[in-house]
Amino acid sequence: MAVDRVLVGHKGIVCLVVAAGAEGSRYACRMCDLVTTLGDATLTLPQENADAGADASGLAQKPDSLSVDGSPPAVAVSESSPDPMAGTARLESGTAEGTATVTVADARLASQQELPSRRGRHAAERSRQPVSPVSAVTMIAATGLLLVAFAYTAGRLGHVSSPWANRAYWAGQAFILVPTAASLLGRRVLTASETVAVITVLTVAEYFAWICYSPAAFTYPDELEHWRSTVNVLQTGGLSGANYLLPISPHYPGLEEVTSALVSVTGLSLFTSGLIVAGIAHLLFIYVLFLLFREISGSHRVAGVAVLLYASNLHFASFDSMFIYQTLALPFLGLTLLAAWRLASKPPAEPRVGWLILAVLAIIVTVATHHVTSYVLVAALVLITVAALLTANWRMAAWTAVLAVLSATATVCWLVFAAPETWTYLQPFADESLQSFRDLLAGGGADVVPISAGPLADRMLSDIAVLAVSALLPVGWWQVWRRLRHQPWTVALAIGSIGWYATVAIRLAAADGSELAGRAATFVFVPAAYIAALAVGHLASAVVRRHARAVAAAVLVVVLMLLFDGLANGWPPYWERLPGSFQVAGSERSVEPEVIAAAEWTLKALGHGNRIATDVGSYPVLGSYGDQDPVRDVAYLYTSSVYTLADASRAKLQALRYIWVDQRLSQSLPASGQYFPVDPDAGKYKHPLPAADLTKFNTQPGIDRIYDSGNIVIYQLPGASHGP
């Protein structure tokens, strides 16, 4: 009888054996509630090593590495058994001393007869854990969420700078992160369903925290871009409505289609529908990641730790879950990879045609939803194909090659026929990244001015996180080389994880490197998290015999630092960690009623699509609520006390019709470090802009002052008429 999976935990007691033969008896581990199914088989486990390996890592083993044969009643553990958490290798190398024999056909998994003392210990340990950790984790995380909500409310009510509000925020996050990390990394091995429950709690709690930041309307610039596109679909019934804020958006309409469909059939508001779509898509992505990691590693524990590490990426709680097209595309990237795994698996997953259709559908949805994700999908499939060829896994190579060709074809067709503007849209980002790399290779990069350097503690946390991941990845690669170099997916993940170092380089070299690196982290952290999880498992088990508690605590501390780094240096940035009153040239805190009212007035009075100069804080509001075409490179209009003929000529060349002036630019330094979307002086401002630079338009012949709401004044340039 073949054994599918063996888990050894809890001081060496066999916790789970899932047998392929259906005739076996079923036994449940009293401690972890797992079910054991075996026929007439005997498990022979080296006692000492089983004990040793059980403490820090729930040990797991690949199905084909074990066999339980009914005739010679013993477990044969193969030498090459891949064991991501490094446990089973010690099973093989164990000495004869202390061997525990579990004869399944006789006893109730040894706990009653062969191992009475163990049963006592087992039961005693269980009695010390009367409450399931999942229940406790859920309740504590919910309490943490409440604390975060209170902190946000305190910020809104004027306590945004008070230390206790910030402490409440971090305490709330600790309530969410510490128990989830501790339960996934702890010495008590969670069952598969408990692991899923814990990662669900983590994902949902952070998503709710995201909602609590802005619970009444979308305020993040990227969300406002897609809000505009969805409004266009709802109003026109078409997919090609112009979006001046994100012109590429109508060419990738997946998110807008799903959201407008939900709005239409339920009657829910666009905001609520958007939250539902983004939230489910985000959770689906995490589930698919978990499924992939579990299939690749053969261990739900490794998968859980890998997902936990993935949650430490800078954008997990923000850009990976907000109402933007990437959020919806990510799960389809994952579903395509899952289908590829299933199609090439042995024995083949049934029905194969079903998985193939699913793969094709997922590819098309990915391609129609987000450009970069579709390119990453092609790259991932090519990488797995190469890894499969390197490991001589022809079956895998064939299937992934087929899917890679399909993905590439769909992507190219979409680029050519549906979204030819994509390259124009992406080219500036690509050029900037390439230039940054060239500078870095040429020894430059030192003159890069950080636009807005965070507090020292945040930067230290960031440095520690970079060091920790940089150190973990080589350990993980070593594990791959030692045990898993014949597995194509693991090899592909190891190769892909090298990209993490590229993101570090971008972070250091590019002017807005943190944002670029953060965007890339969404993808690069998938392989990096898995390889780091292998390293964590290895480190935890390598020294577990002597320092189990200390090692477990150290691993927990390192992972928690990574998770807190993700929050501290992710989004929202430190200067808007708590919502609050209006902030000059900020992000969410620049979205306030007076700005929204002015933007709505432009749409009502001037029509849509007018080219308007504005500051960085009002930019997304004007483009979304106002449906205008804000222009990015306009700093020259606001940084001089004289409106020169050269300025007028340049404005004419830019086809500017209106100038939006927020008088508050002369009252505060920019929170983000820059006043304008394209700002040559970003990060260099020492004083607010002089008031004269903003009021000079009042005395310029030919310029009309057509709107005044106190803080916001709109000027009309000579020759302007309404409409695009």
- Select from 380-388, 498-506, 599-607, 648-656 the region that touches other proteins (CB under 8 A): 599-607
CB 239, min distance to other proteins, A = 5
**Phi, psi of 720, rounded to the nearest 5 degrees:** -75, 140
Q: Does 668 bind other proteins (CB under 8 A)?
A: no
List CB contacts of 498: < 8 A, sequence separation 6 or more.
Answer: none
Cα 670 to Cα 286, 387, 495, 615, 617, distances in angstroms: 36, 48, 41, 10, 9
Report in angstroms how near the CB of residue 578 gets to other proteins at its nearest. 10
At closest approach, how far in Å is the CB of 358 from other proteins? Answer: 6
When binding is defined by CB under 8 A, the residue of 181, 606, 612, 689 that contacts other proteins is 606
Q: How far apart are CA 312 and CA 296, in angstroms?
A: 21
Length of the chain counted residue by residue: 724
Applying CB under 8 A, does 262 fall inside the site for other proteins? yes
Give the residue with the Cβ less far from other proteins, 302 or 517.
302
| SS3 per residue for 593-609 | HHHHHHHHHHHHHHCCC
> Which member of 227, 355, 489, 660 binds other proteins (CB under 8 A)?
355
Give whichever of 21 and 450 is closer to other proteins, judged by the CB atom.
Answer: 21
Under rule CB under 8 A, residue 347 binds other proteins: no
CA distance 185 to 181: 6
What are the φ and ψ backbone dihedral angles of 407, each rounded to 5 degrees? -65, -45
Out of 149, 372, 535, 552, point to the residue binding other proteins (CB under 8 A). Answer: 149
Binds other proteins by CB under 8 A, chosen from 135, 409, 649, 667: 135
Of 105-113, 331-339, 613-621, 669-677, the window that binds other proteins (rule: CB under 8 A) is 331-339
Query: Does residue 19 interact with other proteins by CB under 8 A?
Result: no
Residue 653 in the binding site for other proteins (CB under 8 A):
no
Only segment of 39-47, 79-87, 265-273, 632-640 that touches other proteins (CB under 8 A): 265-273
Site map (CB under 8 A) of other proteins, residues 213-252, x = contact: x-xx----------------x--xxxx-------------
By beta-carbon proximity to other proteins, the closer residue of 184 and 233 is 233
Of 69, 592, 633, 647, which lies in the binding site for other proteins, with binding defined by CB under 8 A?
592
Q: Does 157 interact with other proteins (rule: CB under 8 A)?
A: yes
Residue 97 near residue 48, CB atoms below 8 Å: yes
Whether the CA torsion 350, 351, 353, 357 is positive or negative: it is negative
**Minimum CB distance to other proteins, residue 271 (Å):** 12
Q: How far apart are CB 646 and other proteins at their closest, in Å?
A: 21
Neighbours of 213 (CB within 10 A): 20
Task: Please report whether residue 368 would count as binding other proteins according to CB under 8 A.
Answer: yes
| Tokens linked to 287 | 């589930």
Q: State which H helix or E strand residue 26 sits in.
A: strand 25-28
Cα separation, 627 vs 232, in Å, equals 10
Contacts with other proteins by CB under 8 A: the residue count is 100
Report the phi/psi class of residue 44: left, alpha or beta, with left for phi > 0 and alpha for psi in -120 to 50.
Answer: beta
Q: Which stretch binds other proteins (CB under 8 A): 79-87, 90-98, 127-135, 310-318?
A: 127-135
Q: Which of 281, 337, 631, 656 binds other proteins (CB under 8 A)?
A: 281
Contact between 131 and other proteins by CB under 8 A: the answer reads yes
Binding flag, residue 170, other proteins (CB under 8 A): no
Least separation in angstroms between residue 207's CB and other proteins is 10
Q: How far is the CB of 527 from other proteins (least distance, A)?
A: 20
Shortest distance (Å) from residue 1 CB to other proteins: 17
Tokens matching residue 215: 């619970």
Other beta carbons within 10 Å of 433: 17
Tell which one of 242, 358, 389, 648 touches other proteins (CB under 8 A): 358
In whole angstroms, how close is the CB of 281 to other proteins at the nearest point?
7
99-103 and 611-613 as β-strands: parallel, antiparallel, unpaired?
A: unpaired
Pair of tokens at residue 118: 């163990």
Closest among 374, 210, 367, 196 to 278, alpha carbons compared: 210
CA distance 669 to 688: 5
Query: Is 464 a binder of other proteins (CB under 8 A)?
Result: no
408 binds other proteins (CB under 8 A): no
Rounded to whole angstroms, the Cα distance separating 267 from 407 reads 35
Taking alpha carbons only, the member of 458, 430, 426, 405 closest to residue 577 is 458
Question: Which residue carries 């390439």 as its tokens?
Answer: 434
Q: How far is the CB of 475 from other proteins (least distance, A)?
A: 29
Q: How far apart are CA 120 and CA 126, in angstroms?
A: 10
Q: Pick the stretch among 108-116, 146-154, 420-428, 678-686 that binds other proteins (CB under 8 A).
A: 146-154
Helix (H, G, I), strand (E, B) or coil at 417: helix
Cβ-contact 286, 537 below 8 angstroms = no
Residue type, 691: A
Contact flag: residue 409 with other proteins (CB under 8 A): no
Binding positions for other proteins, 550-589, rule CB under 8 A:
579, 581-582
CB 137 within 8 A of CB 201: yes
Q: Per rule CB under 8 A, is residue 142 in the interface with other proteins? A: yes
Stretch that binds other proteins, among 109-117, 152-160, 636-644, 671-679 (CB under 8 A): 152-160
Q: Which stretch binds other proteins (CB under 8 A): 180-188, 515-523, 674-682, 704-712?
A: 704-712
Residues 124, 265, 446, 646: which binds other proteins (CB under 8 A)?
265
DSSP 537-581: HHHHHHTHHHHHHHHHHHHHHHHHHHHHHHHHSSSS-GGGSS--S
Could you tell me the smallest distance in angstroms from the CB atom of residue 474 to other proteins? 32
260 versus 569: smaller Cβ distance to other proteins = 260
Q: In this chain, which of 19, 42, 152, 497 binds other proteins, going by CB under 8 A? A: 152
Residue with smaller CB distance to other proteins, 267 or 443: 267
Per CB under 8 A, 196 contacts other proteins: yes
Contact between 721 and other proteins per CB under 8 A: yes
Output 109 or 365, the one with its CB closest to other proteins.
365
At residue 511, what are phi and psi to the nearest 5 degrees?
Answer: -60, -45
Residue 49 CB, nearest approach to other proteins (Å): 32
Which region, judged by CB under 8 A, interacts with other proteins, from 68-76, 179-187, 309-317, 707-715?
707-715
* Number of DSSP helices (H) and strands (E) in the chain, helices first: 24, 13
Nearer CB in complex with other proteins: 88/297:
297
300, amino acid identity: H
- Biggest CA-to-CA distance, the chain: 101
| Least separation in angstroms between CB 130 and other proteins | 9
Residue 290 contacts other proteins per CB under 8 A: yes
Output 61 or 214, the one with its CB closest to other proteins: 214
CA–CA dist 388, 546 (Å, integer): 39
Q: Which is nearer to other proteins, 283 or 389 (CB)?
A: 283
The residue from 156, 459, 545, 650 that contacts other proteins (CB under 8 A) is 156
**Contact residue for other proteins among 13, 258, 296, 558 (CB under 8 A):** 258
Reading the block at residue 439, the tokens are 């500078």
- Residues 6 or more apart from 110 whose CB is under 8 A from it? 13, 14, 100, 101, 102, 103, 118
In DSSP terms, 77 is beta-bridged to: 66
Nearest to 220 by CA among 274, 281, 259, 151: 274
Indicate which single residue of 6, 145, 484, 671 sits in contact with other proteins (rule: CB under 8 A): 145
CA distances from 261 to 233, 269, 366, 546 (A): 10, 12, 18, 58
